[in-house]
Chain A
Amino acid sequence: AQSVTQLDSQVPVFEEAPVELRCNYSSSVSVYLFWYVQYPNQGLQLLLKYLSGSTLVESINGFEAEFNKSQTSFHLRKPSVHISDTAEYFCAVSDHPGNTPLVFGKGTRLSVIA
């Protein structure tokens, strides 16, 4: 069975500082990995994904995540955060491309402080 662990429930960080949100997963097979972002009272938006190939994936708004198979991790990073990055971030895993639900972590609340 798959599982996702997000080690930090809350991460406060000052504006323009770097941030890393940690995600570890367990799975016995090859996986697809995702980071989703949720703003208050909204659904989840895909931030970035790892399917195969390059282990470093990037989003259009400056976030990046690196797939590390040996450490079974997929940590999310941003070198300089903005106030607008304040949101809930969920890491998710799937071992199938189609009709099974993603397995989510419990989420990390990123609070950017001015």
Chain B
Amino acid sequence: GAVVSQHPSRVICKSGTSVKIECRSLDFQATTMFWYRQFPKQSLMLMATSNEGSKATYEQGVEKDKFLINHASLTLSTLTVTSAHPEDSSFYICSARTNSGVPEAFFGQGTRLTVV
């Protein structure tokens, strides 16, 4: 199956700093990527949808100025958590789908962000 690579897998940062998470589709073109946040023992919460070359669409309640999403190419999307605070600590997961007729979504390995 298709592979989505997400880095870093873990990151610890100081409060007030920014953190960038990368999501790459390794063997297919990801026309659409999704970013999720997952709290402990809970389901995935969709944060935003990004299409290559256009602005991301954020879900209600997600601060677009805090969670910057860039989808500059068909194989790379980035999520930048700006001015991180301890409440931003969470597990972030990216996902990709294609328009090639393969309906399932492919997921990255996730990033455990800890803000201290």
| A104→B103 contact, CB < 8 A | no
Bound form: Cα–Cα A98–B104 in Å: 8
Interface residues of B in 13-63 (CB under 8 A from A): 31-32, 34, 41-44, 46, 49, 51
| A51 at interface, CB cutoff 8 A | yes
Known: A32-B104, A41-B91; 18 extra A-B contacts, CB below 8 A, are: A34-B104, A34-B105, A41-B9, A41-B112, A42-B110, A43-B93, A43-B110, A44-B93, A46-B104, A97-B102, A99-B51, A99-B99, A100-B32, A100-B49, A100-B97, A106-B43, A107-B42, A107-B43
Pairs A–B under 8 Å by Cβ, sample size 25: A34-B105, A41-B9, A41-B112, A43-B4, A43-B107, A43-B108, A43-B109, A43-B110, A46-B106, A49-B104, A51-B103, A90-B44, A92-B105, A96-B103, A97-B103, A98-B97, A98-B103, A99-B32, A100-B32, A100-B49, A100-B97, A101-B49, A101-B95, A101-B105, A106-B43
Report B-chain residues with C-beta under 8 Å of the C-beta of A32.
Answer: 103-104
Q: Which A residues are closer than 8 A to B by beta carbons?
A: 32, 34, 36, 41-46, 49, 51, 90, 92, 94, 96-102, 104-107, 109
Q: How far is the CA of A36 from the CA of B4 in the complex (A)?
A: 15
Which residues of B are interface residues toward A (Cβ below 8 A)?
1, 4, 6, 9, 31-32, 34, 41-44, 46, 49, 51, 91, 93, 95, 97-99, 101-110, 112
* Least Cβ–Cβ distance between A34 and chain B, in angstroms: 6
Q: Which residue of B lies closest to A45 (CB)?
A: B107
